[in-house]
Amino acid sequence: MKEINVSKIIPVVKKLCIDTNYYASEDVVIKIKEFLEKEVSPTGRDILQLILENHKMAAEEQMPMCQDTGVAVVFVELGQDVHLVGGDFYEAINEGVRQGYIDGYLRKSMVDDPVIERKNTRDNTPAIIYTDIVPGDSLKITVAAKGGGAENMSEVKMMKAADGIEGVKDFVVDRIKRSGGNPCPPVVVGVGIGGSFEQCALLAKKSLLRPITEKNPDPVWAAVEEEILERINKLGIGPQGLGGRTTALAVNILQMPCHIASMPVAVNVNCHCHRHESAVIE
């Protein structure tokens, strides 16, 4: 059994929070450049160029790409041969988030009571943490900074088997159509299918972690992703909803088995900043 002191986690989470907000990921830069080549709307082209300029400036100035630096969604893959010592594991993650958001000049966007008080917690905690136990003796941590504008355009639908694959495609395309300019297009569309009511939403969020330059490993689902993306980019919404062909940069699908009576489908929308960073603690 390998021991990892939870104090090692704090600086790692802190750095992930800062880096994901300051530095655009390579796959996003590649995709935006690719779509800029094809964009026919002059305003749309202006906006895509401005986004690329913003990436460079954020890195140079050590500032977050967007002022909405998100809720910290933390995915943990904990090796089953790891023994965590030295304190509360989840508190260590929250301490990393606290330090990252305070020392990194990131915005604190969490309110305590969601409805009545809505008082800002002032340090962007609590993080939203998901833990998977996996084989091995290492600890992988991924921080996704999830902005509110795009998250608000997400939806879960309990569909029926008779709706079939066409029903799934229509639901995803319609969700993006109804979102219009709200989620900061061009967006990345995460889709979770199967499992249960809550599991498909988590699948949708996890699907966003796959690099958008990579195809779905299953050719059948890769074709579905491609078709949905093509339909979304015919909607005309364009960058920031001001009209154009670049409405989504990618569609990522994750699916899993489900009950004979069910076909849950979730759409989780990400803005063009599409922020997530990972690190492994050995």
Partner 1 sequence: MANEIHLRTPLKTEDLEKLNVGDKVLITGKVYTARDAAHKRLVELVEAGKELPFDIEGAAIYFVGPSPARSGKPIGSAGPTTSYRMDPYSPALMDVGLKAMIGKGPRGPKVIDSMVKNKAVYLASIGGAAVVTAQSVKSCKIIAYEDLGAEAIRELEVEEFPAFVANDTKGNDIFQLGVEKYRR
Count of residues engaged in binding partner 1, rule: CB under 8 A:
52
Interface with partner 1 by CB under 8 A: which range of 77-85, 104-112, 192-200, 210-218? 104-112
Interface with partner 1 by CB under 8 A: which range of 40-48, 132-140, 200-208, 216-224? 40-48
Is residue 66 at the binding interface for partner 1, with CB under 8 A as the rule? yes
Is residue 51 at the binding interface for partner 1, with CB under 8 A as the rule? yes
Residue 11 or 181 with smaller CB distance to partner 1? 181
Per residue, the 3-state secondary structure of the chain, as one string, reads CEEEEHHHHHHHHHHHHHHHHHCCCHHHHHHHHHHHHHCCCHHHHHHHHHHHHHHHHHHHHCCCCCCCCCEEEEEEEEECCEEEECCCHHHHHHHHHHHHHHHCCCCCCCECCCCCCCCECCCCCCCEEEEEEECCCCEEEEEEEECHHHHCCCEEEEECHHHHHHHHHHHHHHHHHHHCCCCCCCEEEEEEEEECHHHHHHHHHHHCCCCCCCCCCCHHHHHHHHHHHHHHCCCCCCHHHCCCCCCEEEEEEEEEEECCCCEEEEEEEECCCCEEEEEEEC
Interface with partner 1 by CB under 8 A: which range of 44-52, 79-87, 89-97, 168-176? 44-52
Is residue 151 at the binding interface for partner 1, with CB under 8 A as the rule? no
Among 17, 229, 272, 277, binds partner 1 (CB under 8 A): 272
Binding site for partner 1 (CB under 8 A): 40-44, 46-47, 50-51, 53-54, 57-58, 61-69, 105-109, 118, 120, 122, 148-149, 152, 180-184, 234-238, 240-245, 271-273
